[in-house]
Amino acid sequence: MNLLIFFAIIIGVIIFLSLMFVNLKLKLLSFLRKLGFSNLDSLINEIKKGEIEAKTNKKHVNGMTKLLLPKITKDFPNFSESELYTKVETSLLAIFNSIENKKLDKCDELILVREKLKKEIEDYKTNNINIRYDDVKFHEHAIKYYTNKNGAMNISISSSLEYYYTKEKDGKVIEKSDYKVQNRYTTEFIYVFDPNVAVKNQALIGINCPNCGAPVKKLGHKKCEFCGSSLEDINLKSWHISSYKADY
């Protein structure tokens, strides 16, 4: 008798849970229809479609170019917006090329980011990771902010671009885009118009010895004060990229 009661209770619970499941499913379907979806699969497909569109739609740049340009041209009459944007593109391409080849590009534009880039490359080598950027195309640029102090001018630029991206680890592809990835990068550029003032703020310039990584305290030094390695002549009276990061 007790066994019959036990089975009856089990069957009753199963029927109750089944009815609850059916009821919840009907409510869910009703809710989905109100949203314009015929079933759960259509909702999932729409979410996946939205994720792809988010990755493939061109990113908008963030900036205040029209507000900042008058101030920049006042401080720097020979300033060329188009030339700076060209430097943004050549610098980022040189960075991508360095990452792909796991070797620092000899481009002089990268003098201020070599240490950061070197560490990034070493990390990829240590973890046996290969990165590829194919068919890189830039869409637009905008100036985000501008400062003129401590003997140097600093400009931050927002840039939108697209590329095919492939990532391998231990020789196996772990990430690959079948469509062009849309991304946005923020870069900072520096122009040192008064080296005597600017070198007092080492964090502003951030030049290091290519051999030992020690900070270069004076731009005119021919040898590193720490390891004695020869230093190349550095002319910062030109726009140089000082930092870069992907926004997505």
Q: How confident is the model at residue 229 (pLDDT cuts 50, 70, 90)?
A: low
The domain of 236 spans 61-246
- Taking CA atoms, 217 is separated from 97, 135, 203, 225, 229, in Å, by 29, 40, 11, 9, 14
- Taking CA atoms, 34 is separated from 22, 40, 47, in Å, by 18, 13, 17
Of residues 4 and 123, more confidently modeled: 123
Residues 188 and 80 in one domain: yes
> For residue 203, what pLDDT is reported?
47
Residues 47 and 128 in one domain: no
pLDDT tens per residue, range 51-66: 666 666 788 898 899 9
pLDDT tens per residue, range 107-163: 777 888 888 899 999 999 999 999 999 999 999 999 999 999 877 889 999 999 999
Residues 44 and 77 in one domain: no
> For residue 3, what pLDDT is reported?
66
Of residues 29 and 144, more confidently modeled: 144
Residue linked to tokens 């497909």: 45
Residues 92 and 146 in one domain: yes
Residues 151 and 180 in one domain: yes
Residue ending a domain, among 32, 53, 74, is 53
Q: How far apart are the first and last CA of the chain?
A: 66
> For residue 178, what pLDDT is reported?
82
Residues 124 and 72 in one domain: yes
Bridge partner residues of 149 (DSSP)? 152
Domain count, the chain: 2
Q: What CATH number is associated with residue 152?
A: 3.10.450
CB 99 within 8 A of CB 131: yes
Residues 151 and 231 in one domain: yes
Taking the CB of residue 174, how many other CB atoms lie within 10 A of it? 10
Strand 152-169 to 172-176 pairing: antiparallel
Q: Which amino acid is at 209?
A: C
Residues 100 and 218 in one domain: yes
